Amino acid sequence: MRTVRIDLDQKLLAAAASIMGTASSNATINEALRRIVVHERQLRHLERLAANMLRVLPGPEVVTAADR
């Protein structure tokens, strides 16, 4: 694996570690990256499902006063 040197907001890193229960900066960053990838994949999947559902649902029915 490649090593990359970056500056991180230490308070944000500590908050993320606390939320995710990770013990090291490396674990926190890798878990955060994993979670965002999973989240984005799920979002795109849900968007595709919603788009497909809109194609198969019947259009709204128009109800007039005479129909009541």
What confidence score (pLDDT) does residue 55 get?
Answer: 75
Q: Which helix (H) or strand (E) segment is 44 a member of?
A: helix 25-56
* pLDDT tens string 38-51: 999 999 999 999 88
* Distance of alpha carbon 23 from alpha carbon 68, whole angstroms: 65
Residue 64: which pLDDT band, with cuts at 50, 70 and 90? low
Average pLDDT over residues 14-36: 97
31, 20 contact by CB (below 8 A) = yes
**Residue of 64 and 27 predicted with greater confidence:** 27
Task: Classify residue 58 by burial, with Cβ atoms within 10 Å: 0-12, 13-18, 19+.
Answer: exposed
